[in-house]
Structure 1
């Protein structure tokens, strides 16, 4: 069975998208579906390339039992549009930036549309305090749970596993 590859994208790849990658990866592992997914994150800008996630993102993830400290920021590359089945932008500005550089047929969506069903943007917590990071974590967790349920149900039933996400 083909792996589903998902790329989470924000502006600098240090706050929202690393959290989304960490949360979704953790949920996939908990559900016993690690062999069915490839998960990564990137930014539309390259200011932080090679750097770890923001210390506040690392801290909020850690407080929920997820370690994202080994991730390193990278910029979206042209090959990403070919290599990933689904590219999820955290907000409309990043969605627009991705759409400008994407070839025809790239599956680029707003996280809030496909994962939350609300069309909402995931706010950038960079200039705020810890409360903003907790809010982002909560919205990403809700969306990642929904996304995994949608994408993972068929895999779980084919593998004979039961998903802890249901």
Structure 2
């Protein structure tokens, strides 16, 4: 809604701001829905892929639950429940974290690595088909600049 307000009420979006916001939301939803469906066609959810790919990039194919939850911007309890489901499927295992009595390590299993290696080419093809190949190098560079401005931005903080 772009209704103007005076005083202490909400600071409404100007028409060009609202158009940009809605375009961004439509873009994120469309690209994410398509890539998520392509992963689902291979038996993985987007969070499954995020956990597996992150673990595969870490030394020893392991990460603490705390680190992984922070990376995904999930609560530890939410990730713990998800990890339980992944563990039941043989994709990862847990090990105690000696530095955190309540925490644990998530460790990629050979089956999890095999699953990731089997799905990764299809996922990359999906990312190309639904995102990268639809943009020219200037578009990609602009998105990188925009993402850098928004990454880690504090909620509620005024833009400079």
TM-score interval w.r.t. the shorter chain? Answer: under 0.3
Q: TM-score, normalised by structure 1?
A: 0.26
> Which one has more relative contact order, counting CA pairs under 8 Å at least 6 apart?
1
* Structure holding more helix per residue: 2
Q: Which has the larger radius of gyration?
A: 2
